[in-house]
């Protein structure tokens, strides 16, 4: 069965129900002037993380639910998190995405669901969001290149969304795909990667409560360079599993094609769980450096599963993590 849901685009909802950009800027201005530096959302109980600058926060999600995930973590600044990105569709330099994704059109946006599920079809992002329990979670994020960052992500549980598509018993894996649009994504003009960018998870990994579909960071809508309008965050895996600008979700019986895995099978495994004991063939994974820290500060030790072992180690109980890296 295939269903297609139609509704107003994000643009429509925004202009009629929320605020214009000018209102928004004025409000932020007002907040700054009146000395109320903390967004309304923070009034709800959990306090601002010690390392957070209130000016890093926006208020695109008024009343955003804060959660205990990542409480007490040191946050990477909004600036660092949005000017040092991997997003090859907009160039291979870390500073490219911030410059080249400025005009990327993320609205209207829809996601096509295919494969082993009973509710497949194309869904407007707004309809997906309408059912979503949006909240904030602070997650550590670890790139295979050994830098890490920690930001407050805005989004919702991947499992909650996937269940609504009613995957069949044959759905053993799920694959995600990024938009392919070389007119907008200049990096796609050359075959730097096998476009479109694809990645995937085993279904039990995908259903783990930690997996998060993110639509924002720091209380703001997702910056284009970080994967607007919607991207995956799987905090116990290396950065490249966290696919950006998702347009397709496919439930599959067999292990899906993953772009980095096919590009360099010896360097990027299907699982790519953060693991200090399994080195990348060209460098060690034993240590990491937090984005924004100074080069003279000591590196920190990489933690197995990026520190999320309690929640996810059971998924790999009988697996040789050196073989299934
Ligand atoms: N579509 C797409 N998604 C992607 C990438 C990419 O090049 N294209 N890079 C990945 C890598 S290697 C990392 S480390 C993270 C970076 O996310 P960030 O820019 O929000 O830190 O995005 C991942 N998702
Ligand atoms: Mo990465």
Residue 211 annotated in ligand binding: no
Give the pLDDT of residue 46: 61
Contact in structure between 210 and 140 (CB atoms under 8 Å): no
Question: Can you give the residue range of the structural domain that contains 236?
Answer: 20-139+150-264
Report the DSSP beta bridge partners of residue 141.
149
Q: What is the mean pLDDT of residues 122-131?
A: 97
Q: Is 244 annotated as a binding residue?
A: yes
Q: From ligand 2's centre to the CA of 145, what distance in Å?
A: 6
Are 201 and 269 contacting, i.e. CB atoms less than 8 angstroms apart?
no
Q: Reply yes or no on whether the pLDDT at 197 is more than 50.
A: yes
Total domain count for the chain? 1
CA 97 to chain centre: 15
| Model pLDDT, residue 51 | 82
Q: Using most ligand atoms within 8 A of CB, pick from 242, 243, 245, 290 the residue to mutate for ligand 1.
A: 242
DSSP notation for 225-243:
GGTTT-EEE-TTBBGGGS-
Quick: pLDDT tens for 99-124.
999 999 999 999 999 999 999 999 99
Residue 45: pLDDT band with limits 50, 70, 90: low
Q: Please state the pTM of the whole predicted model.
A: 0.87
Q: What does the pLDDT look like over 267-314, one tens digit per residue?
A: 999 999 999 999 999 999 999 999 999 888 999 999 999 999 999 999
Q: Is the dihedral of CA 137, 43, 130, 185 positive or negative?
A: negative
311: in domain:
no
Q: Which of 234, 256, 255 is nearest to 243 (CA)?
A: 234
Residues 6+ apart with CB under 8 A from 289: 146, 147, 148, 295, 297, 299, 300
Residue 55 belongs to a domain: yes
Q: Is residue 2 one of the residues assigned to a domain?
A: no
269 within domain boundaries: no
Residue 232 and residue 230: Cα distance in Å, rounded?
7
96: domain CATH number is 3.90.420.10
- pLDDT above 90 (res 11): no
Q: Is the CB of 195 under 6 A from ligand 1?
A: no
Confidence band of 31 (pLDDT split at 50, 70, 90): very low
Does residue 223 have its Cβ closer than 6 Å to ligand 1? no
Q: Is the pLDDT of residue 21 over 80?
A: no
In a domain, 307, yes or no: no
- Mean pLDDT of the residues in the chain: 89
Instruction: Determine if ligand 1 sits within 6 Å of the CB of residue 60.
Output: no
Our answer on whether the CB atom of 199 is closer than 6 Å to any ligand 1 atom is: no
Atom of ligand 1 nearest to the CA of 193: 7
Which carries the bigger pLDDT value, residue 154 or residue 296? 154
Residue 40 lies in a domain: yes
In sequence order, the 6+-apart residues with CB closer than 8 A to the CB of 168 are 116, 117, 118, 251
Q: Is residue 205 part of a domain?
A: yes
- Tokens 């490249």 belong to 240
Nearest to 252 by CA among 93, 114, 108: 114
| Confidence check: pLDDT of 47 > 50 | yes
Q: Which residue from 315, 185, 190, 200 is spatially nearest to 261, judged by alpha carbons?
A: 200
Considering only residues 46 and 314, tell me which one the structure prediction assigns the higher pLDDT: 314
Percent of the chain with pLDDT over 70: 86
Report the separation in Å between the CA atom of 198 and the middle of ligand 2, taken as the mean of its atom positions.
14
Protein residue with its CA nearest to atom 23 in ligand 1 = 240
Structural contact between residues 86 and 93, judged by C-beta atoms closer than 8 angstroms:
no
CA dist 208 and 159 (Å) reads 7
What is the rounded CA–CA span in Å between residue 278 and residue 289? 17
How far, in Å, CA of 70 to CA of 91, rounded? Answer: 31
């Amino acid at each position: 069965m295939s269903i297609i849901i139609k509704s107003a685009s994000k643009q429509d909802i925004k202009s009629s129900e929320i605020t214009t950009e000018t209102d928004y800027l004025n409000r932020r201005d007002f907040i700054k002037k009146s000395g109320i530096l903390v967004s309304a959302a923070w009034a709800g109980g959990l306090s601002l993380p010690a390392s957070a600058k209130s000016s890093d926060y926006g208020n695109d999600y008024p009343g955003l639910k804060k959660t205990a995930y990542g409480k007490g973590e040191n946050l990477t600044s909004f600036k660092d998190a949005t000017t040092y990105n991997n997003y090859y569709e907009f160039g291979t330099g870390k500073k490219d995405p911030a410059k080249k994704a400025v005009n990327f059109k993320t609205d209207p946006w829809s996601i096509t669901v295919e494969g082993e599920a009973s509710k497949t079809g194309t869904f407007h992002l707004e309809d997906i969001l309408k059912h979503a329990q949006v909240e904030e979670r602070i997650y550590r994020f670890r790139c295979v290149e050994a830098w890490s960052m920690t930001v407050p992500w805005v989004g919702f549980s991947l499992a909650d969304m996937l269940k609504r598509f009613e995957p069949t018993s044959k759905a053993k894996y799920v694959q995600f795909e990024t938009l392919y649009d070389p007119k907008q994504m200049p990096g796609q003009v050359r075959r730097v990667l096998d476009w479109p960018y694809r990645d995937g998870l085993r279904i039990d990994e995908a259903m783990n409560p930690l997996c998060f579909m993110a639509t924002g960071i720091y209380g703001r809508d997702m910056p284009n360079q970080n994967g607007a309008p919607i991207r995956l965050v799987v905090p116990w895996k290396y950065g490249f599993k966290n696919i950006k600008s998702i347009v397709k979700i496919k439930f599959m019986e067999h292990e899906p094609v993953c772009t980095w895995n096919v590009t360099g099978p010896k360097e990027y495994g299907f699982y790519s769980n953060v693991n200090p004991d399994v080195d990348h063939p060209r460098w060690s994974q034993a240590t990491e450096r937090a984005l924004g820290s100074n080069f003279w500060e000591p590196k920190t030790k990489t933690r197995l599963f990026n520190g999320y072992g309690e929640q996810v180690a059971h998924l790999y109980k009988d697996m040789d993590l050196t073989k299934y890296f």
